[in-house]
Amino acid sequence: MKITIIGTGYVGLVSGACFADVGNTVLCLDVNEEKIAMLKNGVIPIHEPGLDNMVERNANAGRLLFSTSYDEAVAHADCVFLAVGTPPDEDGSADLTHILAAARSIGQRIDKPVVVVDKSTVPVGTADKVRAAIQGELDKRGSTLSFSVVSNPEFLKEGAAIDDFMRPDRIVVGSDDTVATKLMRQLYAPFSRNHEKLVEMDVRSAELTKYAANAMLATRISFMNELANLAEVLGADIEAVRHGMGLDPRIGSQFLYAGMGYGGSCFPKDVKALVKTGGDHGQVLHILEATELVNDNQKNVLFKKLTRFYGGVEGLKGKTVAVWGLSFKPNTDDMREAPSLVLLKELFDAGCHVRAYDPVASSEALRVLAREHGAARVESMLTIVSSAAAATEGADALVLVTEWKEFRAPDFAGLATILRDKAIFDGRNIYDPAVVAAAGLAYEGIGRVSRTAA
Ligand SMILES: NC(=O)c1ccc[n+]([C@@H]2O[C@H](COP(=O)([O-])OP(=O)(O)OC[C@H]3O[C@@H](n4cnc5c(N)ncnc54)[C@H](O)[C@@H]3O)[C@@H](O)[C@H]2O)c1
Ligand SMILES: O=c1ccn([C@@H]2O[C@H](COP(=O)(O)OP(=O)(O)O[C@H]3O[C@H](CO)[C@@H](O)[C@H](O)[C@H]3O)[C@@H](O)[C@H]2O)c(=O)[nH]1
């Protein structure tokens, strides 16, 4: 089948590569000329494990094409996916500027019946707006062409995006057009071979399903973070509690990890957008408001622990803090809403110098931080280094922010000789407090009993 994907970001590029990998001919379009030029030269603009090989393989086979031309993109296919960004607007609602611009660009060009598939995360009712935007352009041209708009939200996770796309838990298709639904079944058949995973529903339910899933996962995380803070004052260990809870199959063990709060390009914006949708329809979503509040507070939790350890903010002044991990989660270079950004601002404001290392996100982090704080301030407060060991050189304390695999088993005894104040702050609970303390280091985790150096 011939497919066009509009928006070549984390979702668009992964979807395009995966659809091409099962034999379709996919054209990926983006308005960002630099991105498309990179892709045409075989350079992948994002870090996503396995994506470079898959893109190269399919581009070489002529099944994966890149373009900035809407003329070319719309002419290419009878099935056009929308995978552009839907960032939060100032009031928390999803900004539909890119979606509607893309819809108009399609409407201005189609000259045959087409199925437009919305893969971006959009509020309930957006498919109607997309339909109206396309129809408006057809009307201007006096065209009576028919077209369909289908909702097909995407559930992939960054860092595991290819696996998630190739082996989805479910494929949600919201459609009121049987021909379009049939086309979607055909397109997704290779990803749903042995078990029926495609769930058909109406368009509005499909749009809401995406927000419901993200809101539930975000709520689990905030629930655990709040419980972690309680466990800490009660002298309990949230890691033991998590294990004990998660073995109940009604609860399940996933997405119960306490930490520094959820980040990324989805949970924060999608929870906000759903709260806004509720408000717009006279329904206060109390649970989600609390989810967001708890998450905002949780992003400060490590700074509070550092402040306590040093006897107040004044005690932090002039300290050098090593930071391991900057991206919002491992295996990605994405810095959107990363908890590290909140911590780094607090450390800068307290007069600390930060030595940070991230396996892939350093340059993206520098770009974002320079935009937020100014390049000069960032240069004076932050040193980005190229290894975990280099980050701890000359540092007083170590903070683990992102649980990259390479941080899992450090030489604690060695760290005890390097870190001047002999302290580790573990924002993801990946270390055993007893092991850290036995090596002569103080340990602070999330929702765990603090340890002083043994
Ligand atoms: N990132 C994820 O893990 C993930 C997972 C599931 C769903 N989603 C949703 O998918 C959507 C895309 O997310 P993303 O992370 O891939 O975004 P992204 O910011 O990485 O990519 C979006 C791309 O769209 C392009 N674009 C913007 N306007 C355009 C236009 N008019 N025409 C063509 N291209 C245009 C941008 O240049 C950019 O390259 C969002 O709605 C997001 O909520 C994201
Ligand atoms: O137990 C957990 C699990 C995750 N997180 C944090 O939650 C955030 C989001 O993690 P994750 O869900 O793995 O990453 P995303 O790539 O943002 O994926 C989410 O958002 C996507 C965009 O909508 C959806 O498609 C995915 O299904 C959904 O998992 C990260 O900051 C994690 O550190 C925790 O704190 N504790």
pLDDT along the chain (454 residues), means of 10: 97 98 98 98 96 98 98 96 95 94 97 97 97 98 96 97 97 97 96 87 98 98 98 97 98 98 97 96 98 98 97 97 98 97 98 98 97 95 98 98 98 97 98 96 94 84
State the pLDDT at residue 450: 83
CA–CA separation, 107 and 120 (whole Å): 18
The two tokens of residue 306 are 């550092």
- Which amino acid would we find at residue 127? A
Mutate to test the pocket of ligand 2, among 163, 224, 267 (most ligand atoms within 8 A of CB): 267
Ligand 1 center–CA 156 separation, angstroms:
13
Strands 147-151 and 353-357: unpaired
Sketch out the chain's domains with CATH numbers.
Answer: 2-200 (3.40.50.720), 211-296 (1.10.1040.10), 299-444 (3.40.50.720)
To the query of whether residue 28 is one of the catalytic residues in this protein, the response is no
The two tokens of residue 360 are 């892939």
Residue 223 near ligand 2, beta carbon < 6 Å:
no
CA–CA separation, 399 and 56 (whole Å): 37
State the pLDDT at residue 87: 93
What values do phi and psi take at 4, rounded to 5? -115, 140
Residue 386 near ligand 1, beta carbon < 6 Å:
no
CA–CA separation, 397 and 420 (whole Å): 7
Residue 157 near ligand 2, beta carbon < 6 Å:
yes
Q: Choose, from 18, 28, 79, 266, the residue flagged as catalytic.
A: 266
DSSP-based three-state secondary structure for 77: coil
DSSP-based three-state secondary structure for 262: coil
Full-model pTM: 0.97
DSSP-based three-state secondary structure for 310: coil
ipTM: 0.98
CA–CA separation, 361 and 317 (whole Å): 27
Residue 329 near ligand 2, beta carbon < 6 Å:
yes
Is 448:238 a contact under the CB 8 Å cutoff?
A: yes
Mutate to test the pocket of ligand 2, among 15, 156, 157, 207 (most ligand atoms within 8 A of CB): 157
